[in-house]
Every structure is written in structure tokens, then in C-alpha cells.
Amino acid sequence: MTTTAELADRVFGGILGTYDTWAIYVGDKLGFYRNMKSGEPVTADGLAKEAGADSRYAREWLEQQAVAGFVLCDNPLARPSDRMYRLDAAGAEVFTDDLSVNYLAPFVRLVTSAGVQLPSLLEAYRTGGGVSWAQFGDDMRTGQAEMNRPWFLSALASDWFPAVPDIHGRLEAGAMIADIGCGEGWSSIAFAQGYTNVTVDGYDLDGPSIAAAQAHASSAGLSDRVRFHQIDAATVDQAATYDLVTAFECIHDLAQPVPVLAAMRRLVKPDGHVVVMDERVGENFAAAQAGDVERLMYGFSLFTCLPDGLSHQPSAGTGTVMRPATLKKYAKEAGFSSVEILPIENDLWRFYRLVL
């Protein structure tokens, strides 16, 4: 049983973490980390000049980062204006390497964008309303996209789908893919990069996400095989067109998940596959025994996913913590015969095959 002192220590640790998170957000948005990623020592004046920021604020930020252990100070006893600060290799990866799965600056951006909406979230909690994806703004959109990008590009075609031989073989031979809720398109792009014989249609309702996805595909030289469409996936009318239909980390966000799952069933060929990737939460509610992943997912749910889902009515009000039984219920209502968990190992996500 937790003592008062232990609980107070835990809350205090959370407060320190909040301030660290806000400071990381500042360093990410102002380009401080990117200007330090070479590892060369900088003074506060030098960093401020490179980043186009105020020197006094840059000095305070550098001192806080050194106290927190995120950057190194080579000469702490020197005058404040003469102190030299460095970002080591670990810091450069975590704060600037957008192809590393350890890149967490976008995660901070995502969390902070939810914090900005706390007044609106409080109102939603009082009234039963919501806060839409669009209202959370660009930091939420780019934070989620850049957080998932390295996972998709590094693991989708080299780790995840090779663990499912029948789907992997179909993709290698050449396939048409519908990627539902594609966001900024990194899952679609990962399919096209990893499987050179596939063609992908990405579908999403969010206009800025689709515009970004199109730009990403063009930059990757994949516009001929990866197309993006701003449309409600439930209304897509291309029956029995696709060999594989996927929905990565989005079903729990939907106000109406069943019509979208029914559309996925309609879109896939009779011998095709439907795969949903969603959060790897426990099969049952376990309270304090649930662990950090479950705590993280409830954080997402409280401040982003549930308010977004409830911003559209009528709403299923699923939230981030969509347990397997909930997805199975939705799949059955959408006309699928069964749901199986695929043998893809990941600490954050669970992969489901929805059987026709």
C-alpha cells in the first residue's frame, strides 16, 4: 500500500517531468536541439544567434537542460555568458533524429498540444462534448505523424508483415492496398518502399494530413504508386478492389467505427486480408497492476482520443483503451466472422486480422 510520502514523491516527480516536457517542447520548436546536434560546444549567445532567439531566454533554457541532464555543460564554474554546452549523441538521437524509433521530440509536441487545449477539455468534461482533431492543431498532427514515422519505415516491411507469411507473400507478389486513416501517409509510404510491387490508396478525412501525405510521397518518389484521398472511408465505393485493407492506430478514434469496418470488409477481395493495428492494452481492466503502457494509453485517451471521438455525434465513445473484446464486438457488427491476433510482437501495438 502506498504511503503519503511515496504518493507525494510520485506527484512531485510528475511535476518535474511536466516542466522537462515543456522545456523540450521549447527546444524542439525553436530549433535549439537541431542547432546543437553536431555536438560542438555553444554558448547561450551563440545558440540564440543561430536559432534566432533571445539570448537571455536561451541561457536559462541551457541551464535548465544541463540541470535536467539533457545537455552537457563543459565549464559550469565559468561566467554565465562563457559557459559552453553540448548535446551528446544520445541527445541528438532522441531530440533530432527523425528516422530513429528513439526520437521523442514529436511525442512531446503531441502531449503539449493537448495541454494547450485544457480549458476546452475541461468544458468537454463538464458537458459531454469534445475537442476535435482539427482544434488540437498542427502540433498534434505532426507530432503523431513524426512519432509513428520511424516505426512504419523501419519495421512495417522488415519485421511486422514478414511475421505473417500469407500476407507477406501476397505483398511481395504484388497487391493493391487500402490504408484507412492514413494520416500523413507514412504507413502507405512504408508499404510502397518495402514492397516494390504494391500500389497503395491512402484514405483520411483530415485535409492537412492528406496534403502532407501527398508531399511526403512526392519527396520519396512514390507518387506513381501511392495515392491519397480526402474522404470518409465509410463512403468509399470500390467493392472487392483490394488485396489488403489496413487501419493503423485509428479505429479507436472513430466516432462511428462499425461503418468504417464494414467499408473495409466491402473493399477487400474475397480472398484478401483486413488488418487492424491498435493499442496493446490489457485484455481486462487491471487497475494499478496494469503497467506503464496502459497508463500511457489512458493519458492519450483522457486528453486526445476520447475528446476527439466525442466531438462528433453520435459517437461510440471508444477512447484509446480499446480492448480486444471491444474490437471483436465492432467487427462482428460490421459483418466479420471472427478476429484473430497476429503473431507480430510490439510493446505498444497489437495487430488483428479480421476474418471475412
Q: Which domains does the chain have, with CATH numbers?
A: 4-96 (1.10.10.10), 149-285+313-355 (3.40.50.150)
**Distance from C-alpha of 310 to C-alpha of 118, rounded to nearest angstrom:** 16
CA angle 248–131–246, rounded 5-degree value: 10
Lookup result for grid cell 484514405: 203
Residue 134: partners with Cβ closer than 8 Å, 6 or more residues away: 206
Q: By the 8 A CB rule, do 244 and 177 touch?
A: yes
Burial bucket for residue 75 (CB in 10 Å: 0-12, 13-18, 19+): exposed
> pLDDT truncated to tens, each residue of the chain (356 aa)?
789 999 999 999 999 999 999 999 999 999 999 999 999 999 999 999 999 999 999 999 999 999 999 999 999 999 999 999 999 999 999 999 999 999 999 999 999 999 999 999 999 999 999 999 999 999 999 999 999 999 999 999 999 999 999 999 999 999 999 999 999 999 999 999 999 999 999 999 999 999 999 999 999 999 999 999 999 999 998 888 999 999 999 999 999 999 999 999 999 999 999 999 999 999 999 998 899 999 999 999 999 999 999 999 999 999 999 999 999 999 999 999 999 999 999 999 999 999 99
Helices (H), 220-323: 257-267, 292-300, 306-310
